Structure 1
Amino acid sequence: MANLQKISRVNFSIACLTVAVTGFFVWWLLQPSSPDQLLEQHASEFVEIALGLAWHRELEVDSYTGPQSLDIRQEGSAPPISELQLMTAGLLTRVKENVAVLQVDRLRKLEAKIQRLDIVLKSIIGVDTLDFDGEVKSLYELETGQDLVRAALPDTANLEALDQLLPGRGTLSFRVAAFRNQLIIPADKRRAVFEAALNECRARTLAHWALPDTETLDINWTRDVSAAWHQYDGNFKSTLAVNELSIAYLPSAIDVACHEAYPGHHAQFVMHEVAGLESGIQLEDTVFLLRTPTSVIREAAANFGVGLAFPLAERIKFEREVLAPLAGISFPDEDKYTRFLVLVDTLSESITPILREYLLGELSFNTASVRLEREALVSSPSELLLFADEFGAIGVGYQIVQRRLRQKLAASDDAWQSLLLAVVDTETRL
């Protein structure tokens, strides 16, 4: 009996050893055997964490065009954000160690992406949060300049000019709204007006950018979004969800069509993929996070692209001759309308310093809301401030980048090609 027990113990020990050796062997086989495999493993972890964040907060990721097997959102759940932050911190530590050893440029860039993701996750859970200047510098790589720090003082001269342009009773904001109401497109005409604007935006973009023949943009008319929302699906295809309320005003047809589609976000992502197919798209570059330097550049470029596709005089002509007749509305006095657009656009620059002081805690929500409406003529100031509460300094970031981009492209011999380079080159900084 004693011998049988001894044999049993020996057999059990051998079995345990076999399991342990087998487990170690399997673990060893799964370990990266080369720097390239190590990079892919780190990139996979980064993508999974980023998409885990998107499961909790959809707007944190603009688009994802990578393998569906890494998209944790397909599983219908994700680790808590606090756990995602710990995972990110651990990944960042390992990547930093490998950067020191491997000295690989791709790994350095991946480290920067992971560092920014860690900052975002910490800001969400309220750990080690950055102040305004720290956030602008760390997330968007914007160095503090005069356009970042100027005081939020009213643009008195342009406010007075607009006041004289729109005489009458009521506040200036009220009179601006009344003037805009002349340009409301009847509900049953909005789709036709938007599609006409979209086709013209595309034609003007194709005159300068070599978009692939297979690029497509599907329009989804829905009330499930508050405004227009672009989603890049990959393979030169996008989906644009549009709420008809977001294109109720005549000028919004061109604004939305150019900004979201051509030469805006759809065209940007298409041309980025074209460039990537030529140079190679890395796994970590298939997930497009919202709070990044490239994101604010894309947003600023989309805004700038509206005026590039439609210089003011051409815009007025197209709206008067094509869009207004389609909408069945009378076009306003051309000189007055032109002056109105210029003044409103100029006054919108007051948004940046007001938002900055709000994010610094120097203005209350109510005070900032009133000033945005009165001084920058923002029609939905509360919505803008709530966005700032959730996403921090990104609104300030892309307005600053837009201003700097405008200055840079003004000196370019070919603004279209310079704009294209700015959006396809992930190393562009302003």
Structure 2
Amino acid sequence: MEPSTYTGENAAETRDMDAVARFYVKCALWLGVHDPVFVDAYFGPAAVQDEALTVTVPPDRIAGYAADLLATLDGIDPDHLEEAGRMRHTHLREMIRALKIRAGILAGENLTFDAETEALYGVAATEDDPAWYSELHAALDARLPGDGDLSVRYRAFMDSFVVPPDRLESVFAAAFAESRRKTAERLPLPAGERLEIGYAAGEPWEAFIRYLGNGTSLVRVNADLPVTVDRALAYACHEGYPGRHTMRTIREAALVRARGWIEYSVVTLASPLATVAEGAAVLGEEMIFPGPERARFFEEVLFPLAGFEQADADLFDAVVTASTALNLTGNARVARGHLGGALSREEACRLLQDVLLLEAEAAQVRLRLIEELRAYPVALAQGYRIVRDYVGGGADRWERFVHALTEPVLPGDLTSNGSPE
């Protein structure tokens, strides 16, 4: 039984990008059955999802359908399209190409890790300088209280800033409220957008966000696991405002609803578009709380709510800055080394302990996540660098940031020209 009466082959007769996009969405949903991390969100028509998921389509067939869709797009001359159509044609091609590569990998095709990173995310996995980590370790060593093993001191310091469970709700509410207020000062949020924060217990995750469509996101925080106060603000900015929730509400309104581009109703974590989008979400905290503003927010708002000494806010902020940089780049380093074959599992765990200062059990958990996400940590680190360098420090930095956050943008779009269109 064929999973649909529409295929990439008969799309070539209509040369209709709407039809191509609709079938691409089905292919993405089919692939999500085999790859649980591929589809991060779907908020398109329920009928499309219901039709797609009535059958199970194997990865090799999905890859074949994607090849048909790419051939269809080859039959559409971009020069005959208006500017928006040309942009859609380019980006739809990159979405389908990444899906084809990912489906092929699941079907058994072999790519080197570096080739996989470039094919899926449109960026190269670069070598980093071990001395850079040493410099961050030296900075932490100079700031952290006490003597002895750096990782032990670091973990003890961070453990002292775990938010008590009975204060967790007020800390998260304040972090999300302030990040939303500061975001709304810089860009208009769609009418009716809403982010709901809830709390759970007995789950393996610390927190997660799910975009439900119609401008609504659901955040769930695990009250059973220790959450340091910086994580509340990081979630508020990266997942909420001006991060993923903001990005998806604006793109849903502007692309899916206003233009009818259904391909943006399925959000995948493997495409060159995801590289920029995720990089912009990571940069969001720095945009909303630049320079000393984050330390001041810790001191004046979050520390009192959590019951911490306000005098410790500057030191805490400095430690978090260093550890965030270690994690972003270190995760990518371990992913490339381990999945590229240069590091055994034991060596990768040791590197996570030595470089990211994780304890042994946490290193094992982190490595399992890296193995599941594969090249995504590299794309996240590279996407952050690309967006940060593109945004720069000039007077138009917010204009540039909003462009990278809210528009569908490829890595090359930000590195090949100097200003947003």
Q: Same fold (TM over 0.5)?
A: yes
1:138 lines up with 2:119 in the alignment: yes
Check 1:376–1:283 CA distance in 2 against 1; reply closer, same or farther (3 A cut): same
Distance 1:98 1:373 in 2: 49
The C-alpha deviation readout for 1:142-173, integer Å capped at 9, x for no partner, is: 146xxx12355562233123223225355211
1:390 lines up with 2:375 in the alignment: no
Shift of 1:247: 6.6
Report how many residues are paired: 393
| One-letter amino acid of the structure 2 residue matched with residue 253 of structure 1 | A
Check 1:78–1:395 CA distance in 2 against 1; reply closer, same or farther (3 A cut): farther
Distance 1:121 1:196 in 2: 42
Report what 1:427 is aligned to. 409
| One-letter amino acid of the structure 2 residue matched with residue 79 of structure 1 | T
Report what 1:361 is aligned to. 341
Check 1:378–1:205 CA distance in 2 against 1; reply closer, same or farther (3 A cut): farther
Shift of 1:341: 2.8
Distance 2:11 2:330 in 1: 52
Distance 1:73 1:322 in 2: 49
The C-alpha deviation readout for 1:348-390, integer Å capped at 9, x for no partner, is: 3344333322221111112111212221234633223222222
Structure 1 stretches of 5 or more lacking a match?
1-25
Report what 1:10 is aligned to. none
Distance 1:308 1:293 in 2: 22
- Asked if 2 retains the 8 angstrom alpha-carbon contact of 1:51 and 1:72, the reply is no
The C-alpha deviation readout for 1:236-277, integer Å capped at 9, x for no partner, is: 121222223567211111111111101111111112123326
1:407 lines up with 2:386 in the alignment: no
Distance 2:22 2:336 in 1: 36
Report what 1:3 is aligned to. none
With normalisation by structure 2, the TM-score equals: 0.84
Q: Secondary structure at the match of 2:292?
A: helix
Report what 1:305 is aligned to. 284
2:73 aligns with one of 99, 111, 126: 99
Report what 1:323 is aligned to. 302
Shift of 1:201: 0.6
- Asked if 2 retains the 8 angstrom alpha-carbon contact of 1:201 and 1:309, the reply is yes
Q: What's the Cα RMSD here? A: 2.8
Check 1:92–1:318 CA distance in 2 against 1; reply closer, same or farther (3 A cut): closer
User: Rg: which structure is higher?
Assistant: 1
| One-letter amino acid of the structure 1 residue matched with residue 392 of structure 2 | A
Distance 1:287 1:398 in 2: 19
1:345 lines up with 2:324 in the alignment: yes
| One-letter amino acid of the structure 2 residue matched with residue 137 of structure 1 | E
- Asked if 1 retains the 8 angstrom alpha-carbon contact of 2:229 and 2:302, the reply is yes
| One-letter amino acid of the structure 2 residue matched with residue 361 of structure 1 | G
Check 1:158–1:71 CA distance in 2 against 1; reply closer, same or farther (3 A cut): same
- Asked if 2 retains the 8 angstrom alpha-carbon contact of 1:166 and 1:176, the reply is yes
Report what 2:63 is aligned to. 88
1:110 aligns with one of 61, 86, 92: 92
With normalisation by structure 1, the TM-score equals: 0.82
Distance 1:389 1:152 in 2: 22
Distance 1:377 1:141 in 2: 30
1:375 lines up with 2:355 in the alignment: yes
| One-letter amino acid of the structure 2 residue matched with residue 115 of structure 1 | R
Report what 2:222 is aligned to. 243
Distance 2:47 2:249 in 1: 23
- Asked if 2 retains the 8 angstrom alpha-carbon contact of 1:152 and 1:357, the reply is no
Distance 1:369 1:175 in 2: 19
- Asked if 2 retains the 8 angstrom alpha-carbon contact of 1:43 and 1:110, the reply is yes
Distance 2:386 2:90 in 1: 26
| One-letter amino acid of the structure 2 residue matched with residue 63 of structure 1 | A
* Structure 1 segment 60-75 matched on structure 2, within 5 A: 60-72=38-50
The C-alpha deviation readout for 1:380-415, integer Å capped at 9, x for no partner, is: 332232222222111111111112221221244232
Distance 1:302 1:133 in 2: 24
- Asked if 2 retains the 8 angstrom alpha-carbon contact of 1:373 and 1:381, the reply is yes
1:128 lines up with 2:113 in the alignment: no
Q: Secondary structure at the match of 2:75?
A: helix
Report what 1:232 is aligned to. 211
The C-alpha deviation readout for 1:78-103, integer Å capped at 9, x for no partner, is: 415xx2431331x2343344334332
- Asked if 1 retains the 8 angstrom alpha-carbon contact of 2:24 and 2:66, the reply is no
Distance 1:396 1:97 in 2: 30
Distance 1:335 1:65 in 2: 41
